[in-house]
A and B are shown apart, each in its own frame.
Chain A
């Protein structure tokens, strides 16, 4: 059972990567500075967006050691689900490579537990304008929501809200504080 869910998710992950790869070629960016801001793509046709990332631990040879893997995966998955905050670069809604494994783990958990619901709270740092940041926080929450749906969660399990720059995780205007404030928090409820 677990294996089939997992392989399904992996298959989805690959297909999502392909979709994102395709749509980003047609995206109408003008400004070279924003080449890494895939949020524009993010708004197009509902494709979830993230850059190429590692798929460590997934290969056909490893899959043959089914039982050992299953046990190992289960503990890994639990550990991954401890991660509930996902960070973003300035003025982007691109899901970072390091967020993806944890998000996939959450999506699997939601898929396996259809009665569970989660709220995705999008946030921005204090730079820029408050109302734009409110929209940016929403875009981040929506990007995470789409990633989770494509990875197995269902839409009805996920609620999004943006607080813009109103609820910083860390006070202050240092680079470090700001990088911790550009985030989406996943909260099970």
Chain B
């Protein structure tokens, strides 16, 4: 059942870009005090901080497969805020502070070095790790963490989170999970699968399989439940699925549409699109009482609602102007139209701090992911491929995952939330769609 997709990472950063960045860093190393400023200039959408993740010294029988350093490297690269140095290029392989020669790492153009040891103690793995700032010749992180023997990936993602936070000041999102839907033709039948995996696509598990469509997975704020739409009874209904127990509850099965579930920040209610009164409108359902509150009442289509970062406002799609556009609304108040840049803007997803709203935008060359600054109203188109859909922002607001097509194949792509370098998770069989980035673990 597991690992239905054979997922691999590929980088799209160009070699030219890397060469350019390395050159800048080599020049700056003679002026360490100004290095940070100079790096900031090249930072942003097209740049990344160089970090050497040195293979950890291992003791005891460590399970085979990807090493801890492999996983940390892959995580940091995925963020597009870092680029890593391959082990073959390293002049030494230190595993503790006394073995780190800053001059060597400076020569290699590295800004940070992560070293450590991985030890097996019975049925547990213990990692001790230290992160150094090469220019300042300082240790900026030194700690240890443990995990059960089979959870090397959990441990590695934790190390990635700690490294990310030590450098950027924002929590890492590498220990989070991804939910998505795959659609595959098996003979003359179609199989829809709701899957949950690590954020790098590894350790995927099928949570629901159906011959009928599954749509719109949405994480509860505590990460314990998924809401989604399933057509398994030959009509769309909304289900809430407890991941630990596998228990499912059908919570909305009204006449007509039951779609687009979105959790309230307190996890106690769901926004949803119902057409039981004849026409698609947005409702809020209290999960304990199942009481419904109708939030929009208009003859147009209203759908794809989600809460803003503060929880006091909703964003949704309405075609009341003649085509789908994004609106924001407080309570049951008057909605305000937000998008004007093209004739099709839909499925808004606010970023975690309420600075931006991300959505699907139709441009002259197809459907792209765009964002609008909520304060200034300025719109930026973040992607260039032609069938970009379903943006989902990481819980630290730094990355964005969306579904698109590459050479006819369906893939999930991760970019930095300001539109930086992209990394793709291809599905080798069928389609992969509707990624939903889970919350930070609690």
A residues whose Cβ falls under 8 Å from a Cβ of B: 28-31, 33-34, 37, 39-40, 43-44, 91, 126-132, 134-136, 138-139, 142, 160-164, 166-167, 173
Contacts and interface: CB of A to CB of B under 8 A. Distances in A.
Q: 6 closest pairs, A vs B, by CB?
A: A34-B322, A43-B299, A31-B322, A166-B213, A135-B280, A135-B301
Given A31-B322, A134-B303, A128 B362 contact: yes
Contacts of B280: 135, 138-139
Nearest to A126: B387
B275 interface: yes
B179 interface: no
Contacts of A127: 367, 387
Given A31-B343, A33-B343, A127-B387, 10 more contacts: A30-B322, A129-B324, A129-B347, A129-B390, A131-B304, A131-B317, A132-B317, A166-B213, A166-B231, A167-B213
A132 B346 contact: yes
A132 B347 contact: yes
Interface of B: 213, 215-216, 231, 234-236, 256-257, 259-260, 273, 275, 278-280, 299-301, 303-304, 317, 319-324, 343-344, 346-347, 360, 362, 367, 387, 389-390, 433-434
A128 B279 contact: no
A40 to B, nearest CB: 6
Contacts of B275: 135, 138
A147 to B, nearest CB: 16
Contacts of A37: 322-323
A128 B321 contact: no
Most buried by B among A28, A29, A138: A138
Contacts of B215: 130-131, 134, 164, 166
Contact of B303 (A28, A40, A131, A142): A131
A30 B321 CA distance: 6
Given A126-B387, A128-B362, A135-B275, A31 B323 contact: yes
Given A34-B322, A163-B231, A131 B299 contact: no
Contact of A131 (B216, B300, B322): B216
Contacts of B362: 128
30 contacts: A30-B322, A31-B322, A33-B322, A33-B323, A43-B300, A128-B324, A129-B304, A129-B347, A129-B390, A130-B389, A130-B434, A131-B216, A131-B303, A131-B347, A132-B347, A134-B236, A134-B257, A135-B275, A135-B280, A135-B303, A136-B301, A138-B256, A138-B275, A142-B278, A161-B236, A162-B257, A164-B213, A166-B215, A167-B213, A173-B387
The interface centre, meaning the residue of A37, A126, A129, A161 with most chain B CB atoms within 10 A of its CB, is: A129
Contacts of A131: 215-216, 259-260, 273, 303-304, 317, 347
Contacts of A162: 236, 257
A129 B317 contact: yes
Contact of B322 (A29, A44, A161): A29
Contacts, number: 107
B389 A129 contact: yes
Contacts of A30: 321-322
Contacts of B347: 129, 131-132
A139 B319 CA distance: 12
A80 to B, nearest CB: 28
Nearest to B234: A161
B392 to A, nearest CB: 13
B278 to A, nearest CB: 8
A142 B339 CA distance: 28
A30 B323 CA distance: 9
A18 B113 CA distance: 76
Nearest to B305: A131
A62 to B, nearest CB: 39
Contact of A132 (B278, B301, B343, B433): B301
A28 B319 CA distance: 11
Nearest to A162: B257
B322 A139 contact: no
A128 B273 contact: no
A136 to B, nearest CB: 7
A91 B434 CA distance: 21
Contacts of B322: 29-31, 33-34, 37, 40
A127 B367 CA distance: 8
Given A33-B322, A135-B303, A128 B367 contact: yes
A93 to B, nearest CB: 10
